[in-house]
Amino acid sequence: MAASWIRWFSETSIDDVPIVGGKNASLGEMYRELAAEGVRIPNGFATTAAAYRHFLESTGLDRQIQGMLAELKPDDVSSLQRTGHAVRQAILSTELPGDLRTEISSAYERLCAEAGSETGLQLDVAVRSSATAEDLPDASFAGQQETYLNVQGVRPLLDTCRRCFASLFTDRAISYRNHKGFDQFQIALSIGVQRMVRSDLACSGVMFSLDTETGFRDAVLINAAYGLGENVVQGAVNPDEFVVFKPTLKSGFRPILQKRLGTKEWKMIYDIGGGRMTRNLPTPPEERARFALDDDEILLLAQWAGTIEDHYSRKRGVDSPMDIEWAKDGRTGELWIVQARPETVQSRKDLQIHEQFALAERGEVLARGRSVGERIGQGKVRLIADARHLSDFQPGEVLVADKTDPDWEPAMKKAAAIITNRGGRTCHAAIVSRELGLPAVVGTGNATERLQDGQPVTVSCAEGDEGRVYAGLLKFETSRIDLRSLPRPRTKIMMNVASPEEAFRLSFLPNDGVGLAREEFIISNSIRIHPQALLDYHQLADGEVKSEIDELTSGFTDKATFFVDKLAEGVATIAAAFYPKDVIVRLSDFKTNEYANLIGGRPYEPHEENPMLGFRGASRYYDPRYREAFGLECRALLKVRQEMGLANLKVMVPFCRTIDEGRKVLAEMARHGLVQGQDGLEVYVMCEIPSNVILADEFADLFDGFSIGSNDLTQLVLGVDRDSEIVAHVFDERNSAVKQMIASVIHMARAKGRKIGICGQAPSDYPEFAQFLVAQGIDSISLNPDSLVRTIPQIAEAEQK
């Protein structure tokens, strides 16, 4: 009986990688095993590796190609281009064997019949290349071979299959195999033929079952744009980005941690009757201004990502984060999974090795975008307009382009850093940069206009989600430490965290949670608008302010909801990063001059000669001038705890001068649903005013614990304005008067059975101060992240003494 060159997805499993390649084996595995769990996979079939070898051997192409590759100089871009072109032309000019043509045609006819195609043998299919060494745990081969969409009819399908075979010898594929040490002839190509999902009428994208920049395992990252998915994969658009928290999602909550609106400039659609299979159109402005997915769809995709990851983890006996492509059918509204492969970069890192890059100086920022990785790189700019100029690229230069695609990979390997105008964190430039360990800033919008050939620049991805391109070769520092070598003190070591963008990365440092998460950073960076101006939006008389608000709150008809959602996202990201450890968020503690500087804030804020001692902290929350705005803060924190399920979030009240103020604040919180003790909600008070120490026993009866704010406490004990450079030499937390106050409140809290920690600057700056706190019996010390690693051994040493 003649060999069969076809395997249907229903006949295929992940064990069949040598037969149908990684991509098709994964599709078969999911089609067979995950449909019962609700994951939708379009049906299809695959040609086998044996079919590919049959094609080469029966036509003599194998000997012909071997001769061509014998002349290849793999590190010479020109040689690579000549050889690759010659091999591909040889394959494209050779007809498929008759028996293989017959089997592919028959399988396609069966697929058409199953689909009930109204146009006879014209079912539209996706034709995907799947190499037998592809999607391995240690080598992704992402984008090495070609995918063709909207292929219709037997003859076009057969021609496309030949093009897929030829794509095994694209320049980038030859180079990649050489770089990874794979024999060019040990790898075969399988072709997957799969029913198309009509995402040209809706949207599509990519998702990862971990955070792609930090390796944080409890998040799902989803990118989305309108039309067919190639634009997202290739980085041709800046997509929407969503982050979902897996642990509480599995418990039935709705933990969408982040929603970032992308510009989604282009939409790839079918090219009906145009000769080409697809084409790009500009996305209409009204579609660009809204998210491509609604919340229910985001959560469903995240659930599927978790289901797929859990399945492969069980199958392989090891955690298996996944890189997944999805699509939404515009005719039915249904979501589908069209590819899944192992994530091969972050999942292989040793997370116990802490490597940190930090700029030692600053310079002019020339461009900004999404950061990829956490490194810093520098060199001279090389602007590359298209692949024809890749041979001009020199090792150690900074590659700057509109976008990259797999043909660019031989040059990318030589780069010090990569910068693109377009693309998100799952685009080609981002994926390859991670695999190569390069810093990349993608989606800048205008880097090719702002940067010039030969210009020296520093590319920093070490400052959170925003990557920055600085003028000049700036000094920077690197550190590397094995976290396993650090002792673990009995005293709880917590962290002060301001930026949600840093939270996932910081969570890998040894810690017992977050002792201080500041709302101010989120408000000033993500929201930027005074909350009262959002509440009074329709009454605002200043047209310029309204225009600024309109731009920032695009997509929000209720402007106050913008404040609630953005604050909730920022706080939830920090709470999720450290879940289930305690995360103590401090309610807003802007001073009046700082609130006035927010958009629309000036009319709502009184002028004060000394804002540091004025209308701040607890006194604002119950005052008629701010209490409704405070309600937005409460709504945001309630959303984090109740809707997202992050009950590890605790609340802290700053600058609470009197017991009566404390009662009023707790009552105001309860009015908005934040009830102390309900669902385990603990409410702490900052100990930063002498009255907090003197009346510590009464404050202990009202609150669940204390956090010492050494900066303000030192200011008020010594009577020193901490903003005045003239008396700055007097400001010292190690002063005996300050230390006596701190020792007193620690002893009182312990006597009352209340938790007490410190979140001020002093333990981060002065190791001997941290040792003093240990001697007093403090429960926890919350440190700045940059001082954590060096301070932990000193605290452990103090405990032993």
Residue 292, amino acid = A
Contacts 24+ apart (CB under 8 A), 472-477: 472/363, 472/364, 473/378, 474/359, 474/360, 474/361, 474/362, 474/363, 474/378, 475/359, 475/360, 475/361, 476/357, 476/358, 476/359, 476/360, 476/376, 477/357, 477/358, 477/360
Strand partners, 282: 266
Catalytic residue among 54, 311, 354, 428: 428
- Cβ atoms 249, 454 nearer than 8 A: no
Q: Tokens representing 292? A: 């491509």
Residue 95, amino acid = E
Q: Residue 493: how many CB atoms within 10 A of its CB?
A: 25
- CA 130/CA 206 separation, integer angstroms: 18
- Cβ atoms 443, 251 nearer than 8 A: no
Please give the span between the terminal C-alpha atoms of the chain, in angstroms, as a whole number: 82
- Cβ atoms 151, 126 nearer than 8 A: yes
- HEC string of 118-129? CCCCCCEEEEEE
Catalytic residue among 161, 427, 656, 759: 759
DSSP labels, 79-133: HHHHHHHHHHHHHHTSPPPHHHHHHHHHHHHHHHHHHT-TTSS--EEEEEEEETT
SS3 350: coil
User: C-alpha 700: how far from its chain's center?
Assistant: 40
- HEC string of 154-220? HHHHHHHHHHHHHHHHCHHHHHHHHHHCCCCCCCCEEEEEEECCCHHHCEEEEEECCCCCCCCCCEE
Question: Residue 777 phi/psi, 5° resolution?
Answer: 90, 30
Active-site residue flag, 672 = no
Q: Tokens representing 407? A: 């043909």
Q: Which of 439, 465, 627 is nearest to 532 (CA)?
A: 627
Pairing of strands 780-783, 755-758: parallel
Active-site residue flag, 428 = yes
Identify the burial level of 488 via C-beta atoms within 10 angstroms of its C-beta, where 0-12 means exposed, 13-18 middle and 19 or more buried.
exposed
DSSP labels, 290-348: S-SS-HHHHHHHHHHHHHHHHHHHHHHTS---EEEEEEE-TTT--EEEEEEEE--SGGG
- Cβ atoms 403, 235 nearer than 8 A: yes
Identify the burial level of 547 via C-beta atoms within 10 angstroms of its C-beta, where 0-12 means exposed, 13-18 middle and 19 or more buried.
exposed
- CA 108/CA 125 separation, integer angstroms: 9
SS3 70: helix
Q: Residue 677: how many CB atoms within 10 A of its CB?
A: 9
- CA 652/CA 341 separation, integer angstroms: 43
- CA 226/CA 141 separation, integer angstroms: 26
DSSP labels, 596-635: HTSBT-GGGS---S-GGGSS-THHHHTSTTTHHHHHHHHH
- CA 370/CA 363 separation, integer angstroms: 19
Identify the burial level of 279 via C-beta atoms within 10 angstroms of its C-beta, where 0-12 means exposed, 13-18 middle and 19 or more buried.
middle
Q: Which residue has the tokens 């206009």?
A: 449
Q: Tokens representing 630? A: 């405070």
SS3 683: strand
Question: Which residues are catalytic, by number?
Answer: 428, 759
